[in-house]
Amino acid sequence: MPAPFRFTLEATDPITGARAGRFETPRGTILTPTFMPVGTQATVKSLTPDDLRELGAQVILGNTYHLHLRPGEELIERLGGLHRFMRWDGPILTDSGGFQVFSLAHLRKVTEEGVAFRSHVDGSARMLTPEIATRIQERLGSDIAMAFDHCVELPATYEKTREAMERTHRWLDRCLTAHARPDQALFPIVQGGTYDDLRIESAEAISRIDAPGYAIGGVSVGETKADAHRIVSLVAPRLPEGRPRYLMGVGSPEDLVNGVAGGVDLFDCVLPTRIARNGTVLTDAGRVTLSRGALREVDAPIDPTCDCYTCRNFTTAYLHHLFKAEELLGHRLASIHNLRYMARLGSRMRQAITDGTYGTWRDAFLRGYRVADESVAQVQRERRVAAWQATRPGLDARVGAAVADGADDEHD
């Protein structure tokens, strides 16, 4: 592992294999397990860096694709790098942009060289290759950079999935050759779709590289939760024990709890902030929709056990009013609560691991947590598609679906 980075495994739950660790980076130590808020375009939507520090964020994300398109890595580098640009002095992880580019299924062409695509912002012709994605991340100055990978859309045939996995491995070699910053960790990514043998093969292949950390990709692209849990439990234990393991794009509380039991240390997703802007907040009982009429007169915080700014200062009735009146403050207060909830969840999992009681804690949590109805999530997705298309008349509906799923919103 490069000198500025060090991972110490501090405790492992004897029953589940859940891990508590300490990942030291040039800009601070990350205590794991933890959830990383997503700030794709150099901002976590509606929140300031001070907000993020207060709610307990340890590391945040930026995105190569979005920052390359606007304002451009040249400008960010000239202005002192991403940390100075957005005034965040803690660790930053940048996604390579691979997922965003592959989301634009009808705007791009994949070759062995890389991916040629058209910008969803202005339609201009662009190209991302392993070398270009690596160079952009170096110019941004993130602490953790991701290798450029090929993520397939589901459903995908075995042959297509193998082809993408093998290309991911070849592209990783090119990323490693291009990568020159000793103060930036480069994480390889496991691919392989929903095929167990491909996942195992990919995990074994990237584990032969002495990397500062390893990621599991392609696990939040439309597969069932059962498939996702199976893949994580299969792959994570096969990655090097003495390095952090990062599960990309996963952010539902129940998925974090199960992912940690599978041996994962780091998570990220737009879900907590996205559902916050739609008026939904997280609690240990499950998600709560603030616009529900039954909450109109609730003179109590969302969660009396929560210590976030929102719960310390405002009632559920007030938040209900903000969303019914379509006031922007509602977005901000709900986002603060949801990200604080995720930070507290990470701390609670870490404590249960160090206490040696994670299995019992996990079972109790999952018994009390009401999982969201996936059909409701689909309705919300369709609303995002419609809203996105309304601002860009004339674009193909399929492009709207791809971008609403991710290419024009935070990290996805």
DSSP 31-51: EESEEE-B-TTSS-TT--HHH
- DSSP per-residue codes, 275-341: HHHTTEEEETTEEEETT-GGGTT--S-S-TT--SHHHHH--HHHHHHHHHTT-HHHHHHHHHHHHHH
Do the beta carbons of residue 299 and residue 317 sit within 8 Å? yes
Q: Using CA atoms in the order 49, 51, 56, 58, what is the torsion angle rounded to 10 degrees? A: -10
Confidence of residue 403 (pLDDT cuts 50, 70, 90): very low
Q: Phi and psi of 205, rounded to 5°?
A: -65, -50
β-strand partners of 32: 21
Query: Cβ contacts of residue 209 below 8 Å, gap of 6+?
Result: 172, 176, 188
Instruction: State residue 1's pLDDT score.
Output: 62
Residue with tokens 């997705």: 381
Confidence of residue 222 (pLDDT cuts 50, 70, 90): confident
Q: What is the pLDDT of residue 29?
A: 98
Per-residue confidence at 303, pLDDT binned at 50, 70, 90? very high
What is the distance between the alpha carbons of residues 276 and 260, in angstroms, rounded to a whole number?
Answer: 24
> Which two structure tokens, joined as six digits, stand for 308?
């976030």
Q: What is the mean pLDDT of residues 304-315?
A: 98
CA 90 to chain CA centroid, Å, is 17
Amino acid at 306: C
Do 230 and 195 contact (CB within 8 A), yes or no?
no
Whose tokens are 């879900």? That residue is 271
Q: Which pLDDT score is estimated for 390?
A: 66
Mean pLDDT of 274-298: 97
**pLDDT tier, 120 (very low <50, low <70, confident <90, very high otherwise):** confident
Q: Do 317 and 298 contact (CB within 8 A), yes or no?
A: yes
pLDDT at 408: 41
* CB neighbour list of residue 390: distance below 8 Å, 6 or more residues apart: none
> Is 273 exposed, middle or buried (CB count within 10 Å of its CB: 0-12, 13-18, 19+)?
buried
Q: What CATH number belongs to 6-269?
A: 3.20.20.105
With CA atoms as reference, report the closest residue to 66 among 39, 87, 45, 47.
39
Name the residue with higher pLDDT: 398 or 256.
256
Average pLDDT (326-350) is 98
The pLDDT, as a whole number, for residue 220 is 83
What is the crossing angle of helices 358-368 and 328-355, to 10°? 150
Report the predicted TM-score, pTM, of the whole model to 2 decimal places: 0.92
Q: How far apart are CA 385 and CA 20, in angstroms?
A: 39
Query: What pLDDT does residue 18 have?
Result: 98
pLDDT at residue 124 in the model: 92
Give the pLDDT mean for 365-372.
96
Of 34, 55, 33, which Cα lies nearest the Cα of 44?
Answer: 55
167 within 8 A of 130, measured Cβ to Cβ = no
Residue 291 confidence (pLDDT) above 90: yes
Confidence band (pLDDT; 50, 70, 90) for 241?
very high
How far is residue 65's CA from residue 48's CA, in Å, rounded to a whole number? Answer: 22
Return the pLDDT at 411. 39
Q: What are phi and psi of 17, to 5 degrees?
A: 90, 5
Report the C-alpha gap between 352 and 359 in whole angstroms. Answer: 8
Asked if residue 263 lies in contact with residue 18, where contact means CB atoms within 8 angstroms, the answer is yes
Would you name the residues annotated as active-site residues?
Answer: 95, 268
Name the DSSP letter for residue 386.
Answer: H
Mean pLDDT of all residues belonging to the chain: 92
* Look-up of token digits 């609560």: 337
pLDDT score of 391: 59
For residue 387, count other CB atoms closer than 10 A to its CB.
Answer: 11
What is the structure's pLDDT at 195?
97
Quickly state the pLDDT bin for 393 (edges 50, 70, 90). Answer: low
**What is the tens place of the pLDDT at every residue in 40-94?**
999 999 999 999 999 999 999 999 999 999 999 999 999 999 999 999 999 999 9
The pLDDT value given to residue 107:
78
* Residue extents of the structural domains in the chain: 6-269
Measured CA to CA, the distance from residue 399 to residue 120 in angstroms comes to 9
Reduced to 3 states (helix: H, G, I; strand: E, B; else coil), residue 245 is: strand
